[in-house]
Amino acid sequence: MKRKIRLQRGEPNNLRLDEFEIKVETGMVVLDAIHLIQATEAPDLAIRWNCKAGKCGSCSAEVNGEPKLTCMTRLSDYPEDQTLTVQPMKTFPLIKDLVTDVSWNYEVNRQITPYQHTEGTGDPIMFQAEVDRVQEFRKCIECFLCQDVCHVLRSHDMKDEFAGPRFMIRTAGLEMHPLDQGERLEHLRDDHGIGLCNITKCCTYACPEHIGITDNAIIPMKERVVDEYYDPLKWLWNMVTGKSN
Amino acid sequence: MPPIDADATKERACTIPDDKGLLPTARTDLWWIQPLAVFMGLGTAVVYMSWAAFQGTNYYYDVEGASYLSPLYSPELFGETEHAWFGVKPTFWPEEILGFAVPWSPAFLILWAPAGFRVTCYYYRGSYYKAFWADPPACAVGEPRNSYWGENSMPLILQNLHRYMLYFAIIFIFILSYDAWLSMWFNGRPFEGDFGIGVGTIVLSLNAILLGGYTFGCHSLRHLIGGYADRIVRKPKVQQKAFDCVSCLNKQHMKWAWFSLFWVCFTDFYVRLCASGIIDDWRII
């Protein structure tokens, strides 16, 4: 069986879509098709990839406008007569063809207060339930599909004010860690703009690791920010009981 | 490796999907169905409940000893039925403001609480931002406006008060559960009248259950009951179990939200049909 695939080609200010017809094999994924095109018709085609197993997060792109890992997206997921269009992630600056510059993400990552271990005080034992809770966020493969689909970054380009879902889960993983003593809520509210997230859950739907980004990370972090900054009863309660989190 | 064929490259070239327009997107699926369905569903519910609230009549059915009170009117703080807590229409309610007559309905005094709970609900927020404000219309679909403030400034910063709406919503769950309990007794108060089950009893009981499932799966409750703590395992067993239960309900929060919204409308509709004499309630037991 043959099917048509369109790939975005070129560099910024010189973009085009090239259409190719390929012979489809059983079980073929979009990245296979791109490799086939690269090997037979477009040797100068640029695509970033590595593991081809959905674990390295390198081959992120947009297939028919939806952010996907190309190595985990089967051609058979789409109607046989439909032409597939593969484009680079829209949120990040384009380098060439399907490759974008995602280095902004690493800069944001460096702004997050790293793990600060409880030295000497407190109980060092972690129970499985506590491990599971933060371990979910460690499944992130940094494909940045959540960043790509987030409309705050994608449509409004508010990279100076909003860190994006990837770094909400990194912060949540550290904040919920039982042995961590770091303080990140002020930074999360003021610099990483958690209030800009309007919980449309696109990041959760796009995540190939099925991390509960919105329900398990962003909303719990929003609630902790509410505790700290917006809830007078909580302040009163903490004052009366002398408790903190 | 094959050489690059310049002519072939020219032949392959086609237009890049339009990145302009009101809702620009390269998506080829039926992405607009979900926001449209939410728009229709929420819009219908809001219109129906507003209409029902303005009626001010036919919200209580007491034929043949039954005691069914519409959830849109419960608790009935002031009103004409035996359910009214503080008697008839309050004197502080103005007859007119600036020459315009002010309508009265017992629902006006209470609907702000469940409405506020749903408006500030994390699930609904995400849904109505998409369906009503196109912010965004759907995932990976462009927006019709450039400016964006999120929930960082007024008025949407008030969404952070969701937990206060939750406190009221929990009180309502107990009241609606009591209404369901009352609906199991005919011709008298509980343990004084006859125990029985009518279709209305089932409708009111399901209403309390679905609203309970929605309210007790709330994200804010999940936080308040244990999510705030890094060491939930060190908390009392009962708190851990409560956290697990709320987390379990929370996984299906969207479904609870929709089923409970539909059912609260249907419950009012059923009571209204019975109270207005269009249908008779069927006493099963």
Residue B231: closest C-alpha in chain A: A178
Give the per-residue pLDDT at B22: 82
The structure tokens 């080609």 sit at: A9
pTM of the model: 0.92
> What is the mean predicted confidence (pLDDT) over A24-32?
96
- Report the pLDDT value the prediction gives residue A124, as an integer from 0 to 100: 81
pLDDT of the residue at A89: 97
For B200: left if phi > 0, alpha if psi spans -120 to 50, otherwise beta; the answer is alpha
Q: How far apart are CA B157 and CA A222, in angstroms?
A: 11
What's the pLDDT band for A17 if we cut at 50, 70, 90? Answer: very high
Put simply, the answer to whether A200 touches B231 (Cβ < 8 Å) is no
* A171–chain B Cβ distance below 8 A for any pair: no
Answer yes or no: are the C-beta atoms of A98 and A34 closer than 8 Å.
yes
- Give me the count of residues in chain A: 245
Question: Rounded to the nearest 10 degrees, how much is the dihedral formed by the CA atoms of A223, A226, A232, A236?
Answer: 60
Asked if residue A216 has pLDDT above 90, the reply is yes
Residue A115 and residue A29 in contact, taking contact as beta carbons nearer than 8 Å? no
Residue A148, token pair as written in the block: 């790509």
CA B214-B220-B226 angle, 5° bins: 110
Please tell me the predicted confidence (pLDDT) of residue B15.
Answer: 58
- Average per-residue pLDDT in chain B? 92
ipTM: 0.92
pLDDT reported for residue A52 = 95
Q: Which of A16, A158, A231 sits opposite B163 (nearest CB)?
A: A231
Calculate the CA A240 to chain-centre distance.
Answer: 40
Report CA-CA distances (Å) from B27 to A62, A203, B32: 9, 16, 10
DSSP structure class, residue A22: E
Domains of chain A plus CATH, in order, are 2-100 (3.10.20.30), 103-241 (1.10.1060.10)
Q: What's the rounded mean pLDDT across residues A83-109?
A: 96
- Chain A interface, best mutation among B5, B233, B247, B254, by max A CB count within 10 A: B233
Amino acid at A177: H
Tell me the per-residue pLDDT of A99-124, one tens digit each, with 9 for 90 and over. Answer: 999 999 999 999 999 999 877 766 78
Q: Closest residue of A to B226, CA-based?
A: A245
What is the pLDDT averaged over residues A113-142? 89
User: What pLDDT was estimated at residue A146?
Assistant: 98
Instruction: Specify the pLDDT at position A120.
Output: 73
Whether the CB of B8 is below 8 Å from some CB of chain A: the reply is yes
Output B191-195 pairs: Cβ under 8 A, ≥24 positions apart.
B193/B65, B194/B65, B195/B285
Give me the mean pLDDT over the B156-168 stretch.
95
pLDDT at position A125 is 86
Q: Would an 8 Å CB–CB cutoff place B144 in contact with chain A?
A: no
Distance CA B48, CA B38 (A): 15
Tokens representing B83?
A: 């359910």
A29: pLDDT confidence band, cut at 50, 70 and 90? very high
**What would the pLDDT profile of B17-26 be if each residue is shown by its tens digit?**
656 678 889 9
Return the pLDDT at A234: 84
- Name the residue in chain A with its Cα closest to that of B130: A200
N- to C-terminal Cα distance for chain B?
82
Q: Is B126 on the interface with A (CB under 8 A)?
A: yes
B154 interfacial to chain A (CB closer than 8 Å): no
Which chain B residue has the Cα nearest residue A155? B142
- Which residues partner with A4 through β-bridges? A21
Q: What is the rounded CA–CA span in Å between residue B117 and residue B208?
A: 16
DSSP A190: H
